[in-house]
Chain A
Amino acid sequence: MAIAVSQAYKDVQARRGGKTARVVVQYKRRYFDTGAVAFAYEPNWHTLAQRDFLDPGEIVNQLDVAEPSIFKSSTVTLRPNNTRNQWVRSVNDPSVFAADALAPNGYYDDQTLFQILYSFLLPDGTWGDCAQFTGFAADYTPLPRTGEMQILVSASLLAEKCAAVKVNTTVTGEAVANSVVNEPLNPSPGDGTTAVLKTTSTGVIKVVNVKANGVALTLTTDYSVSIPTDGTAAAITLVSPAAQNGKVLTATLITKNLLTASQAVTLIKTVYADGVALAQGGDYTYALPTSLVGPAQITLVDPTLWIGKAFTWDGAKGQLTKKVEEAVALYCDASGIGSGSRNIQPVIFPGGLSSSKTVDTESDWEAGTLLQNLTTTLTPGSIFKKWFLIDDFSDGDYTANPPWTVAANNGSVSIVSSALQLTATNLLTSVYTASQFTLGTFRYRFKGVGSVYFMADSNANSGGNPTGNWYRLTIDNVAGTVSFVRPFFTIATASGLSLGSGFNEFRVTRDAGGNFNVFLNGTQIISAADSTYSASSYMFVVCPWNGAGTVTAAITDIYTSSELDGIGAVSGSATIAELVFNLLATPAALGMLDHFEVLNGGAVVYKTASAPDSAGSPGTWDALQVLGAGNQMASTPRQWLKLRVEINPGTGLYVSPEVQKLVAHFTSSTVTLSQVAPTSGTAWDKIQVYARMCNYETGWDASGVFFFRSRTVSGAAVLALDPWTNVIHVDDTHPGWDRVFNIGHASQPPYEYYYTKTDAGEAEPTSERRFGPIQRDLDFSGELVANDAQIGKAAAQTAYQDNYRPRWRCRAQTKLAPWLELSDPVTLTFVPDRKLLESIAGDPLQASGFAGAQGVALAVNKKMKIVGITKKLAAATADLLLEEILS
């Protein structure tokens, strides 16, 4: 924006005569500071004597000249006196770059910093300076015939020459990540007899972390590993297959496809196996992440050569989750444009960006900060309530919640220490209650002698003995036996057990294949297959009488789960999932929380909370809020968002609602890039892409300060241009029809976004009807934006809104107002016929062109934006390319 000058300076410029100006060219030389091992500029400017340089010629700055968001960097050619070869680099005099105390080895001629000032002599006798151009020497060409040195000075030199990859960081010796984590082995769960398990992955070169039901097994003690030399699946041989019967068996594998631990990798320079460098091409190939944030993949050509090796790699990687302004600052840093030499405005995207956070994979759910009594693995991608409490008798009442029916009482039925205790003194005592366990896990604690019918399709009984179809465990703590029984058939019996007189935990798991496993205190004691019965509505507890004395049985903490789990902790808590997201900036607004679920007769409650950022972590959370109408999130928009899911099965039901997916929508005004990981191009290339993406403009101001700013012009006009004060002529006017675009289109793979007159609700006659359908295409395929921000959608809208109306353009030749810069707003008044300017009664504002014939005026106080400015200092004029500012 306009260069800051004093009012006195402007007053002098406004004079018609009696104003005195001078053009000053000054420079700072660059030297190598051997102590700091860095280049530095001398502290003070040197001024070229007037006779030592020629007119610097035209200083050209352009913006949106060829088409919108095409940025032209500016260069200036200086031609200082070089009759003594003083502009030829030498450590000796008379070279300008000769050695001195500050630079004992002399100065470097490249990147010498030049600045051109246009100064007015102010009424107080001092000079008011106004920078016109600042840049770095990019080329020197001696002109022997004229005794001059032609120096090309470029404002954008540093960024134009800076390889974009300089923003990446070096990686040295990073261990590769395991390529496959917790891959189920074949078979899994263990079938109790198969000893040799195979991996699904082939090309395995190392196997670590073999687990059963999530618990690590011990190499040698529990298993051994065989890595094939033919690149096929690896084999894990269990020492005791029966011990792993029914357990989910997994292993972590390193395969021939190695993945880097780092994401956004931009270069795999060298791969090492046990510290020995491998040959690229011969030993491995690699693929960098392309459009997605993720690891790079290193593929071993012959994995059998590297069995058991530890792999590391050297290379480079980009940076993750950076706001656009932070990314631009990174490129500036890489270019040597320090914080004092740049002005980067935060990107506030016009209209805001539709952004979202999605939870729909197992890993998404497992990243939750609170996962209480739920399972993420029953159906990967969904969550369910895991443990259903049938009864723990903590209420001291077996007649309610749930009600137990006494089928036979030949002793007693009572609650003792939060357990249902049955005694039998002559015949059996029996109770039952509703239960629907058929698949998954049935779990309870039991002591004494008795039978637990964990599946019974009917409550019919004969003297307390169920008469329908059932499965039961018969437990005898005196005999030390546990039998797995169905009507008229004992399926299996485990004996020699030390059951003692206290409570033991029993679990029965059953999968869809009819495979039963019985666990006693976490140890499998029975494995059997039986598919005879598959229905259940009740469970029975029967305390038998063995013909003498009193027999006692007690049961409590009865749970069921749809998941197979012989050893995992049991929870009686409510089912709650909480997921926390860093939205990277305070969103403009929170939107809907889309949720997808199957209720199965129950209910799911969704709540949200928000918190401000506190050094990269959530600060204090506010209270949880239930969703409003239309699933609108009711929390205050803050940088951190918490989603809470409360799953409540229906009363008396033992089936869980299934929550399949959440999508939290919010509107963000900031644009955050998932990664800044360039592999090609220059810093200037990348900065321009960001500017186009955000509808910003970028370049260097006259003081050499880099800017990255909104293109929206605001504020009052910097200068009034009219024939009486500044305008020499106005010509080259265009209505701007050729720059109309009334269909905004942006490609942001995998989506294509369009914005048209229909979306805008444009009044007739629409731009499309008047000019035809004209599409402006934007391509964001190379950039990945965080928060699933629909930047393409917003950009398409902006492309339409900015361009669907023609903007009048013209070229104005004016007397030099040195403080004008690109994007400055000005007002323009101009009548093409000079005769019409003749004033009435000496008042130029009453010139006939305006008082009587408005129609002949090209512009009357029309607000315009400077999109191009060419300053001709020696002629004290400027050529302005002006574009109408539409309200």
Chain B
Amino acid sequence: MGAMVLTAGAAPAFLAKPFVTTDALNAGGIVVSSGDAFKQRAIDMSQKTAATSQGQDTDGVAWTWQAKQYEGSTVAAKTADCLALLNINFKRFKVEYRLNGGAWTIFPGADYTGADFAADHLILPLDPAAGVTIDEWLVTATHTQTPNQEKSLGLFLPSVQKFQASRGTSDLNMKPEEQVVTVKLFDGTLDQTNILHNDADFDFMRTPLLFLAVPDTEEPSYAALRGDFFLFVPQPGKYPNQWFLCRVAPNTYNAAPLSMDRDSRLMRVALSVEEVGGA
């Protein structure tokens, strides 16, 4: 299997949950050169927030966001074959990694120190065979696309690719599940509170997926999604910024041979995925 295709028209992609999680935050494993109060926003799975520098809004002044990978309270080395930096305003930057405190190495394709970067996201799927084992990351940004702004890193998602659907889904209806509480006071008026699941979002994405004519060899990949949380990219080409940390909604998974040809090796896979919130 080669690297995922994440360009226009690509089918939904599924990746393992990101390697830098709240465990790193709790263990003190995330360090920034400024903006300490916002450093966790790079892992909160919100499309609306970002870890930002504070007072380092001059081009040429480096801002760093450094994170170790933790499982619980222990540093965990993992092999990454995909890295996504979403909602960034970097123009000159690089992403490095290392293992066991060794020398920093540029993650393949993540060096824009000598060239300008102009997009709001950088997604770097590698051939899985070329994955690198990592326990610590370092993002260094020196310039912003609009000059002299605070550096901003929306999401930092190192992961490992699971699989990409061979065909698009025929049923994608992303519906936000709002965390809105409404109280009706005795005079009949309403009082509304938006309960957030992270620093910015009070809704969770939930959508049914229907994959028709899935080769039966591919179906176990869908079935295995039920084991743990995973990153879901529903429309990699059209909306490359939309990465969700999801689970398969309980009791929604359904796989069956296509009825028109019981002997065929094609199946119909239906499931619903729902966002679970911050990493």
User: B19-33 toward A: CB 8 Å interface, digit per residue (1/0)?
Assistant: 001100111100000
**Given A728-B186, A875-B181, A876-B183, residue A23 in contact with residue B277 (CB < 8 A):** no
Identify the stretch in B100-108, B190-198, B255-263 within 8 Å (CB) of chain A at 4 or more residues: B190-198
Is A770 interfacial (CB-CB < 8 Å)? Answer: no
Complex contact B197–A51 (CB within 8 A): yes
Residue of B nearest to A20 (CB): B194
Complex contact B193–A21 (CB within 8 A): yes
Q: Which 7 A-B pairs have the closest CB atoms?
A: A723-B186, A51-B277, A93-B72, A46-B26, A876-B181, A723-B187, A22-B196
Complex contact A100–B22 (CB within 8 A): no
Interface size on A, as a range, is 35 or more
On chain B, the residues within 8 Å of A21 by CB distance are 193-196
Is A346 interfacial (CB-CB < 8 Å)? Answer: no
Residue of A nearest to B247 (CB): A51
A389 to B76, CA, bound (A): 100
A729 to chain B, nearest CB (A): 6
Complex contact A728–B277 (CB within 8 A): no
Residues 592-631 of A at the B interface (beta carbon under 8 Å):
none
What does DSSP make chain B's interface, helix, strand, loop or mixed? loop
Residues 249-279 of B at the A interface (beta carbon under 8 Å):
276-279
On chain B, the residues within 8 Å of A95 by CB distance are 72
B246 to chain A, nearest CB (A): 11
User: B74-102 toward A: CB 8 Å interface, digit per residue (1/0)?
Assistant: 10100000000000000000000000000
A100 to B74, CA, bound (A): 7
A22 to B277, CA, bound (A): 13
Complex contact A50–B197 (CB within 8 A): yes
User: A715-752 toward B: CB 8 Å interface, digit per residue (1/0)?
Assistant: 00000000111111110000000000000000000000
Task: Identify 9 new A-B residue pairs, CB closer than 8 A, beyond the known A20-B195, A877-B183.
Answer: A18-B192, A20-B193, A49-B277, A51-B277, A95-B72, A121-B196, A726-B185, A728-B185, A876-B191
On chain A, the residues within 8 Å of B195 by CB distance are 20-23, 874, 876
On chain B, the residues within 8 Å of A774 by CB distance are none
A624 to chain B, nearest CB (A): 68
On chain B, the residues within 8 Å of A726 by CB distance are 185
User: B186-212 toward A: CB 8 Å interface, digit per residue (1/0)?
Assistant: 111111111111100010000000000
Is A761 interfacial (CB-CB < 8 Å)? Answer: no
Is A86 interfacial (CB-CB < 8 Å)? Answer: yes
Complex contact A49–B279 (CB within 8 A): yes
On chain A, the residues within 8 Å of B197 by CB distance are 22, 50-51
A77 to chain B, nearest CB (A): 19
On chain A, the residues within 8 Å of B21 by CB distance are 49
List 14 contacting pairs A-B, 8 Å CB cutoff, sorted by A. Answer: A16-B190, A19-B192, A21-B193, A47-B22, A47-B25, A49-B277, A50-B277, A93-B71, A94-B72, A96-B73, A100-B27, A724-B185, A728-B186, A834-B188
A193 to B277, CA, bound (A): 105
Count how many chain B residues have C-beta atoms less than 8 Å from C-beta atoms of the other chain.
Answer: 33
**Given A874-B195, A877-B183, residue A98 in contact with residue B72 (CB < 8 A):** yes
B77 to chain A, nearest CB (A): 13
On chain B, the residues within 8 Å of A727 by CB distance are 185-186
Complex contact B71–A17 (CB within 8 A): no
Complex contact A876–B193 (CB within 8 A): yes
Count CB-based A-B contacts (< 8 Å). 100
A99 to B72, CA, bound (A): 10
Q: Which of A23, A44, A837, A876 contacts B186 (CB 8 A)?
A: A837
B106 to chain A, nearest CB (A): 29
On chain B, the residues within 8 Å of A874 by CB distance are 181, 195
On chain A, the residues within 8 Å of B187 by CB distance are 723-724, 834, 837, 844
Residues 124-182 of B at the A interface (beta carbon under 8 Å):
181
Is A830 interfacial (CB-CB < 8 Å)? Answer: yes
On chain B, the residues within 8 Å of A98 by CB distance are 72-74
A834 to B192, CA, bound (A): 21
Residue of A nearest to B278 (CB): A49
Complex contact B192–A16 (CB within 8 A): yes
A267 to B72, CA, bound (A): 48
Residue of A nearest to B194 (CB): A20
Q: Which of B22, B71, B191, B278 contacts A94 (CB 8 A)?
A: B71
Complex contact B191–A16 (CB within 8 A): yes
Complex contact B189–A815 (CB within 8 A): no
Complex contact B194–A728 (CB within 8 A): no
A105 to chain B, nearest CB (A): 13
On chain A, the residues within 8 Å of B202 by CB distance are 20
On chain A, the residues within 8 Å of B277 by CB distance are 49-51
On chain A, the residues within 8 Å of B198 by CB distance are 50
User: A25-64 toward B: CB 8 Å interface, digit per residue (1/0)?
Assistant: 0000000000000000000101101111000000000000
**Most chain A beta-carbon neighbours within 10 Å: one of B22, B27, B28, B198:** B22
A874 to chain B, nearest CB (A): 7
Residue of A nearest to B277 (CB): A51
A728 to B183, CA, bound (A): 8
Complex contact A49–B22 (CB within 8 A): yes
Complex contact B276–A19 (CB within 8 A): no
Residues 785-839 of A at the B interface (beta carbon under 8 Å):
815-816, 830, 834, 837
A215 to B276, CA, bound (A): 92
User: B58-78 toward A: CB 8 Å interface, digit per residue (1/0)?
Assistant: 000000000000011110100
Complex contact A51–B191 (CB within 8 A): no
A46 to B187, CA, bound (A): 41
Q: Which of B72, B76, B188 contacts A86 (CB 8 A)?
A: B72
**Given A16-B191, A51-B197, residue A93 in contact with residue B183 (CB < 8 A):** no
A44 to B184, CA, bound (A): 39
**Most chain A beta-carbon neighbours within 10 Å: one of B74, B184, B188, B193:** B193
Complex contact A51–B276 (CB within 8 A): yes
User: B112-124 toward A: CB 8 Å interface, digit per residue (1/0)?
Assistant: 0000000000000
On chain A, the residues within 8 Å of B183 by CB distance are 728, 815, 875-877
On chain B, the residues within 8 Å of A730 by CB distance are 186
Complex contact B185–A723 (CB within 8 A): yes
Residues 18-59 of B at the A interface (beta carbon under 8 Å):
21-22, 25-28
